[in-house]
Amino acid sequence: MTPGRRFKDDLYEQLARLGKATSAPKRLELLDLLCQGPRTVEALADQAGISIANASQHLQVLRAARLVEAQKQGLFVQYRLAGDDVCQFFLSLRTLAAARLAEVRQVTRAFLEQRGALEAVDGDELLRRVKRGEVTVIDVRPVEEYRAGHLPGALSVPLAVLKSRLKQLPRRREIVAYCRGPYCVMSLEAVELLRKRGFRAHRLEFGVGELRAQGWSLAAGDETAAP
């Protein structure tokens, strides 16, 4: 074997580590969740619908591929992405799948049609309306995701408490809800609830991962959280 051939074999073997690490659907979902912000194993397991032991095993594979990092915090272990480029990698993979795999479009279309084919507000239009103060933007993700990063001016109204906070939302203004991106169902459920209660509501397809990748400046903390 020539030195050049050995170099190529060694190189592609290392590149294949990323493919192997992301070959499981649940590991991709964990990366998607971590794009929103750091999480404990327990929180990741709950939100991904798997056991803590299963989540831990998947996270160890991702960690071995240098895609995630772990840090001990008291009695818990918190995971985070190894860098913003990991989220960009996941978003690129998702975009490629949507462009090349008809099955992705079919599954998405079928689900949206079942939910009434709710239309989305594109990012540029939302930004224009936000700058003009024409809409109320709500972040329906869990509070910890909101604290890690959110659209400036967005109110934190997690889907789980949305019904109890309807009186706090203005009825004469259009409301735009967003969550984790185009395949997140929380914003769909939020818009369905709002429309049933008489609000003019739309969903934003983009999540903070997409917006960060596009160069949007995000806010952090609780300064605009709804009471």
| Distance of alpha carbon 154 from alpha carbon 140, whole angstroms | 10
Region 199-220: mean pLDDT is 87
Q: How does residue 227 score in pLDDT terms, banded at 50, 70 and 90?
A: very low
Contact call for residues 97 and 103 (beta carbons, < 8 A): no
Q: How does residue 225 score in pLDDT terms, banded at 50, 70 and 90?
A: very low
Q: How does residue 121 score in pLDDT terms, banded at 50, 70 and 90?
A: low
Confidence (pTM): 0.86
Query: Which of the residues 35, 87, 179, 184 is marked catalytic?
Result: 179
The pLDDT value recorded for residue 79 is: 97
Q: How does residue 54 score in pLDDT terms, banded at 50, 70 and 90?
A: very high
* 179 annotated active-site: yes
The pLDDT value recorded for residue 120 is: 56
Protein fold of 3-84: Arc Repressor Mutant, subunit A (1.10.10)
Question: Per the structure block, which two tokens stand in for 214?
Answer: 């596009």
Question: Per the structure block, which two tokens stand in for 155?
Answer: 């109110």
Alpha helix segments (H runs only) across the chain? 3-21, 25-36, 41-48, 52-64, 84-100, 102-114, 123-131, 143-148, 186-196, 208-213
The pLDDT value recorded for residue 110 is: 83
What percent of the chain clears pLDDT 90, i.e. is strictly above it? 68
Q: What residue segments make up the domains of the chain, in order of their start?
A: 3-84, 118-213
**78-117 confidence digits (pLDDT tens):** 999 999 999 999 999 999 999 999 999 898 888 877 766 5
- The amino acid that residue 3 corresponds to is P
**162-173 confidence digits (pLDDT tens):** 999 999 999 989
The pLDDT value recorded for residue 89 is: 96
Protein fold of 118-213: Oxidized Rhodanese; domain 1 (3.40.250)
Contacts of residues 216-221 at CB distance under 8 Å and 24 or more positions apart, as own/partner, are: 216/151, 217/152, 218/149, 218/150, 218/151, 218/152, 219/149, 219/150, 219/151, 219/152, 219/153, 219/154, 220/147, 220/148, 220/149, 220/150, 221/147
| Distance of alpha carbon 30 from alpha carbon 38, whole angstroms | 11
| Distance of alpha carbon 73 from alpha carbon 122, whole angstroms | 38
